[in-house]
Structure 1
Amino acid sequence: MKKSMLWLLGLLAYLLFMLVLTPASLWLKLVTLPADLQLGPVTGTLWQGQVAGVQKAPFYLPQLSWQLQPSLLWRGKLGLKLQGGNLRDASLPYLAVQAELGFGKVLLQQSTIRLPVAPIIPQLQLPMPVDASGSIVLNLQKFELGQPYCSELVGTASWQQAKFKAPTGWIDLQAIDSTLSCDNGNLSLTTKADNPLGLLVKADVLQGSYQIAGTLKPAASMPKEVHQAMQFVGQADAEGRFPLKLQGRIGQ
């Protein structure tokens, strides 16, 4: 009986060994990928590997590497570490993600994701054409996948090196910081008003759509073009704040 058990354990160990060391390119052939997702050459194994280039409009990631971490298997979970892009090149996306994968659960902790602003702007339905630059940096202390997007979210978001283009040139907004949360399964962002635009809004990403509501109160130091543009936003209240309300579909 003991010999049979040892043989069984040995067989299972061998199968597991072969499973994780099978080339990742072979596993990829068994997966149905979105039609608009393009991958470069895949190297390594299921255990640890790399993709040389990931393209999904409007973003391109020069490289994406992964590493499985079995230390959580005793809890019925599998750790996954993802690293992609170049931290020093702000014109491209970057990510450093620490994930826990369980039965029907995905949890991210202490993760950073950076996206350039320029490709995002055309995806939004704005009342007037906007040309902007900089990067959106997400620092996620905890994010648990849910319906439609999340079941828990604790983190911050920052528009770093924030600039937008006016007729007279680029206007520097420095940085616009905000907090992230999960609101009934939807992604929610609330800005801090300590920015040159006095932007104080709550933005919600719903299933396939978004809505933004809040106020603007540009600082006196802002160029006159900014203050003149406020006439297209609406009527200021008694405190000089202009109402801001936008909504639309994502990617349409």
Structure 2
Amino acid sequence: MSWRYVFWLIPVYLAALIVLAPAQLIGWGLQQFAGNNPQLQNLSGTIWNGKAGLTRVIVPTGTAVKLENIEWGIDPVSLLKGELGLSFEIPQAGNVISGSGLIQVNRQGLPVFEANLSGGIAQSSVALNLPLPLNIDGAWQLDLNEYSLSDFSTPGWCDTLNANINTEQVRVRLDNAWLPLGDFRADLECGDPQTINVSIPPENRLGLQVNAALHGTRNVPRVRLQGSIKPTLQTPAEVSELLVFIGQADATGRYTFSFNL
């Protein structure tokens, strides 16, 4: 064989290595960047289009959430611009959280996240080990328009955040009966690197208004919450009757409350 053909085969061989690079390289690269959280197992496909049969993520509450059959794809055009664009999809089957998202890393190495995720309140609260004081069910959807954190080794929560959570057909269990509470919307923003601010406007069936802050660190999260309820004609009577245990209503008819976790 002529050496001329050998030299032509070298770039073809290198291109094939890049195109057909196994998905296991994603797991290795993620481990170098983020340590053992998340953990990817049962990888298949290539680094460009692959699947993780099992993904294990340790959330701030300390519990490990397992997600099955997450698929990803890398946009090769973004690499030509010196950036990285990685899309992912979490199927609904077998997972408490499902949806899709995009991770973009710019030339400065800053990752920016976008996602649309959803799930059931009861199942998600159990999986995430959330300290809910009552049995609550319904559906939730997170619209994450932008989230970034420049250094994941620091205890901070965010550099930028623009998101909202919509809950639908929320209900609470009181005295062995499920009471409908309606739909709610919560807006999330980054107050500073150590704080995520959450606000719920009062336009809902309970007249519930909340201003909360998630602070502390990702390893030891803390919640500071202030809120009020002003019953409406749609508020279940059983809920209105419990408001006397909060205290006296103010001049506007609102029952205020606050707590720290």
Structure 1 contact 60–93 (Cα < 8 Å) conserved: no
The CA distance in 2 between the partners of 1:42 and 1:90, in whole Å, is: 17
Deviation track 1:70-108 (CA, whole Å, cap 9, x = no partner) reads 22234421001010022xx79821121022123431112
The CA distance in 2 between the partners of 1:162 and 1:221, in whole Å, is: 13
Residues 152, 99 of structure 1: alpha-carbon distance in 2 compared, 3 angstrom cutoff: same
Q: How does 1:205-244 map to 2 (within 5 A)?
A: 205-206=214-215, 207=217, 208-244=221-257
Q: How does 1:58-207 map to 2 (within 5 A)?
A: 59-86=65-92, 92-102=96-106, 103-109=108-114, 111-118=115-122, 119-120=124-125, 123-125=129-131, 129-146=133-150, 148-185=156-193, 186-206=195-215, 207=217
Does 2:20 match 1:21? yes
Structure 2 contact 206–234 (Cα < 8 Å) conserved: no
Residues 168, 125 of structure 1: alpha-carbon distance in 2 compared, 3 angstrom cutoff: closer
TM-score if structure 1 supplies the norm length? 0.79
Unaligned 5+ segments in structure 1 are 1-6
The CA distance in 1 between the partners of 2:94 and 2:141, in whole Å, is: 10
Structure 2 contact 181–236 (Cα < 8 Å) conserved: no
Which amino acid in the other structure matches residue 112 of structure 2? Answer: L
The root-mean-square deviation of aligned C-alpha atoms, in Å, is: 3.0
- CA positional deviation for 1:184: 0.7
Partner of 2:49: 48
Residues 13, 203 of structure 1: alpha-carbon distance in 2 compared, 3 angstrom cutoff: farther
The CA distance in 2 between the partners of 1:114 and 1:210, in whole Å, is: 22
- CA positional deviation for 1:12: 7.4
The CA distance in 2 between the partners of 1:41 and 1:182, in whole Å, is: 35
TM-score if structure 2 supplies the norm length? 0.76
Partner of 1:4: none
Unaligned 5+ segments in structure 2 are 1-6, 58-62
Residues 29, 105 of structure 1: alpha-carbon distance in 2 compared, 3 angstrom cutoff: closer
Residues 48, 91 of structure 1: alpha-carbon distance in 2 compared, 3 angstrom cutoff: closer
Residues 71, 54 of structure 1: alpha-carbon distance in 2 compared, 3 angstrom cutoff: same
Structure 1 contact 125–247 (Cα < 8 Å) conserved: no
The CA distance in 1 between the partners of 2:191 and 2:98, in whole Å, is: 26
Between 66-75 and 25-34, report the one with greater CA deviation: 25-34
Q: Give aligned-pair identity as a percent.
A: 24
Structure 2 contact 55–67 (Cα < 8 Å) conserved: yes
Structure 2 contact 70–90 (Cα < 8 Å) conserved: yes
